[in-house]
Structure 1
Amino acid sequence: MWQFFLSKISILKSGLFHVILLLLLGTELCGFRCNQNTVHLQCHACGGMMPSRTNNNVPQHCLGCDRAFCGAYWHAQRLSRSDFHVVCSHETFKPISERTISRIPFLAHETNRHEQDITERCIRQMGRTLQDVISDWIVKFNNREIDRTRMPLNHAEMVTASTHVCNQCYDKLVSFLLYWFRVTMPKYLLPPDAANREDCWYGYACRTQHHNEDHARKRNHVCRPTRGSNI
């Protein structure tokens, strides 16, 4: 008997209990009901399950990484988290245009904290917020004013401001936009200590910046490489 209960707990933890419950009860949500042939997707964020709806206009995969996320789907079905099923917050997977940001992502400027600090100071001395800057650059991005060659998302040419992306891909997009914000900024708008630095030959692709603090600080790495394989 105890083995039976352990197996039930295991199913509940995996998120499969939700699917089984819908199948057994024949629950209908917004005109859709699962059956024994329904394919289900496992959410990358919460591990819960959702039916794969190819004929549904609510995205179930992040265009930036192709992983499945349930936040938008269950939000559209007006289903919330309970003891019986795992559901992601709507905040985990939503359109780029509906997102806000208040901190520079860890990934920005190839994780170079000195460059991140300079970007933060630039924004502050301009009297703006990070959200202001990103909103402006999303408009430029949406208008295709930015070269997307180095954009670290899948299907880069298909991404627009209305595209649903996960939190991780949004951070990657913000980091990409902050590179363009900095690389197009006139030197006189940089803080004096940053404006006087020479560009690193290897630019953003420099590997030394990751293990040599002195080099990471003394050379500008938010620039295009002039040497190496990334020219």
Structure 2
Amino acid sequence: MYLHNTQYENDDEYNDDHDDDDDDHDHDDDDDDDDDDDDDDDDEEEDGAPHYFLNPFGHHPPVPNVRFACRQCPAIAGTATIPTNFQCLPNQNHILCQCCIQPMPDRRDEADIHQHCEICKQFFCNIYFQQCQRAGCLGCLNRLRDFNFAPRHLNNFVNENPIESQIVQDYLTTNHKTMRDLLTDCCDCLDRNEFTCPGIDRNAAIPSSKIVCYKCGLKIFKELAYQFRVRMKQEDIFPVMLRNRDNCYYGRKCRTQYTKGTHAHRLNHACEQTKF
């Protein structure tokens, strides 16, 4: 969300007038004519109220911002707890973090300033302010390999298939590894071009350093975890009965794997679709 610095005036009067209009429309049908007269009177009274409309010629020019004051605006910067060598100018434009819904100065055109996800393009303040203000934020914007995903978001993390997910989970447990270790291993494979992922340029110097939001990062991690499962050797799969299973014709795109546990258990779904 991009915030233009428009001065808001007479908000209470504007809202009160509209509330009065809503009450007028609740009268009985017999009073419609009187309501029309009242509405006309209300329109005349609202001539002095601000009117909001789309500007067909582009953006409104920035004016001093009062409503959207961020932690680097002059009125607040003196009491801020974050280290900063930047202070907003009076006409500073702001963008809104989509996690804590708090403003920050728009500095996207500056080098090494990270304020948006490079995949979905939404704004987040975790890197810029070094910590998002929303309680419970797990790092709404970060480098892919630096994420710490919550366990509650990692149920059935391999293609939403509980059997294939448990195979990887058992492998991690046997080898004394964590989900964080799995993310690191997957990112290393991504950097070596052994794994691929939509939205990440394989020719990038360090693909795993891509700046992404939590939601996009979680989606990427699940895709990489699926590729990790595909690459696992049969001797690393436990229990033994899950080794050397026939591949499902529909592979990872099979819909039955989500509705019938026996099907998901009997056939391997860490494979691509071969029947269309």
Q: 1:42-53 to 2 correspondence within 5 Å?
A: 42-53=96-107
Q: TM-score, normalised by structure 2?
A: 0.62
Q: Say if 2:172 is the partner of 1:123.
A: yes
Question: Aligned partners of 1:214 and 1:198: how far apart in 2?
Answer: 14
User: Aligned residue for 1:188?
Assistant: 235
Question: Aligned partners of 2:156 and 2:216: how far apart in 1?
Answer: 11
User: Aligned residue for 2:117?
Assistant: 62
Based on CA coordinates, which of the two structures has the bigger radius of gyration?
A: 2
Shift of the alpha carbon at 1:102?
Answer: 7.2
Name the CA shift for 1:222/1:45 in 2 (closer, same or farther; >3 Å): same
Shift of the alpha carbon at 1:61?
Answer: 0.8
Is this contact kept in 2: 1:72–1:90, CA < 8 A?
no
- How big is each residue's C-alpha offset from its partner over 1:42-95, in whole Å with a ceiling of 9 and x where there is no partner? 2111211112101141211112322111111112xxx884xxxx7995722222
User: Aligned residue for 2:266?
Assistant: 218
Aligned residues: 207
User: Aligned residue for 1:144?
Assistant: 193
Question: Aligned partners of 1:169 and 1:80: how far apart in 2?
Answer: 17
In structure 1, which of residues 80, 86, 105 is the aligned counterpart of residue 154 of structure 2? 105
Q: TM-score, normalised by structure 1?
A: 0.73
Bigger proportion of residues as helix: 1
- How big is each residue's C-alpha offset from its partner over 1:5-64, in whole Å with a ceiling of 9 and x where there is no partner? x99xxxxxxxx944279668495852342333x332121112111121011412111123
Q: Give % identity.
A: 22
In structure 1, which of residues 153, 159, 163 is the aligned counterpart of residue 210 of structure 2? 163
Is this contact kept in 2: 1:62–1:68, CA < 8 A?
yes
- What RMSD in Å do the two structures reach over aligned CA positions? 3.5
Secondary structure, aligned partner of 1:122: helix
Question: Aligned partners of 2:117 and 2:141: how far apart in 1?
Answer: 8
User: Aligned residue for 1:199?
Assistant: 247
In structure 2, which of residues 78, 89, 95 is the aligned counterpart of residue 41 of structure 1? 95
User: Aligned residue for 1:134?
Assistant: 183
Name the CA shift for 1:226/1:26 in 2 (closer, same or farther; >3 Å): same
Name the CA shift for 1:72/1:22 in 2 (closer, same or farther; >3 Å): closer
Shift of the alpha carbon at 1:141?
Answer: 0.7
Q: Of the two structures, which has the highest relative contact order with CA contacts closer than 8 Å and spacing of 6 or more? A: 1
Unaligned residue ranges in structure 1 (runs of 5+): 8-15
- How big is each residue's C-alpha offset from its partner over 1:108-156, in whole Å with a ceiling of 9 and x where there is no partner? 22211222112111222234333223212211211222233xx3xx355
